[in-house]
Chains A and B, each alone.
Chain A
Amino acid sequence: DTGVSQDPRHKITKRGQNVTFRCDPISEHNRLYWYRQTLGQGPEFLTYFQNEAQLEKSRLLSDRFSAERPKGSFSTLEIQRTEQGDSAMYLCASSSWPSRGVTEAFFGQGTRLTVV
């Protein structure tokens, strides 16, 4: 499978614990995005990278969230001191930019986080 891969698919953690998610984008894609989605809502933008550079981070994102893409390939999203409000689906996507024709982002299956 050469699509976007996310690990783990599901994570249950206790409030106050730290969690880290991994995203492996499509190999030739230089852009990588992180989104968060809660039930009944559209995906909410968190941050995105071009290669290893983090180009933008949502102002809604608290300091407990950090993302890295150290070698411009896979990325990690860490949430420190988790809260129940962090429970959501965390989606990763990748794309190639610039691109000829349409710009299409490919999404992974997501990591579902439950904070208890």
Chain B
Amino acid sequence: GQQLNQSPQSMFIQEGEDVSMNCTSSSIFNTWLWYKQDPGEGPVLLIALYKAGELTSNGRLTAQFGITRKDSFLNISASIPSDVGIYFCAGHRGNKLVFGAGTILRVKS
């Protein structure tokens, strides 16, 4: 069953806003990854985090690997319309990735 709690489930953004989402688990993970999925496409890797406490940026994206190894967050600064999609967190443990249920980002009209 689902082992990662990803929140929020969905959110509306207005262009220019900053966005935050996070993932928590009751178990420790060795690596956290964040993916984005555009409609009709497969997920694309955005950021990978390998060490507890690590803070990594990729353009307007910033992600952190929680110090307890049980959580991670993703921030998007100054959002733009093409940021819409589904964002997944994934934790690596052993020989598998475990995925969160996803955060759906939509544009406010």
A binds B: no
